[in-house]
Amino acid sequence: MFLVKLNICNQTHQMEYGVSVQNVFAVESNAIPSLDDIKKLPNKVLLWCGSRSSNLLRHIYKGFLPAVCSLPVPGYMIITVSMMIITLPSI
């Protein structure tokens, strides 16, 4: 993905940024573990991100950042254990 600058005026800014998709890749379903295999793992993570869509570019650039539990901020997630597995549905 890459950043595209659009010259569109709105109420708060003189320009707006958007995202364009360069490539889409299909993931073979046998390349990732099945849900049953993931359920058997000893370390599990709750992956949740309540973020505004305006934070999408930051997530693409920096990834999901761990939140400090005492100071929750939109766009950050709470990591419960050290191991994280993310699976994408096949297209």
pLDDT of residue 2: 47
Q: Can you give the residue ranges of every domain in the chain?
A: 2-77
Tokens of 33: 């573990």
Per-residue pLDDT reduced to its tens digit, 46-88: 555 556 666 767 767 777 666 555 555 555 454 444 444 444 4
Please give the mean pLDDT across all residues of the chain: 61
- Average pLDDT of the segment spanning 3-28: 62
The DSSP result for 27-58, as a single string, is --GGGS--HHHHHT-S----------GGGHHH
Terminal CA-CA length for the chain: 18
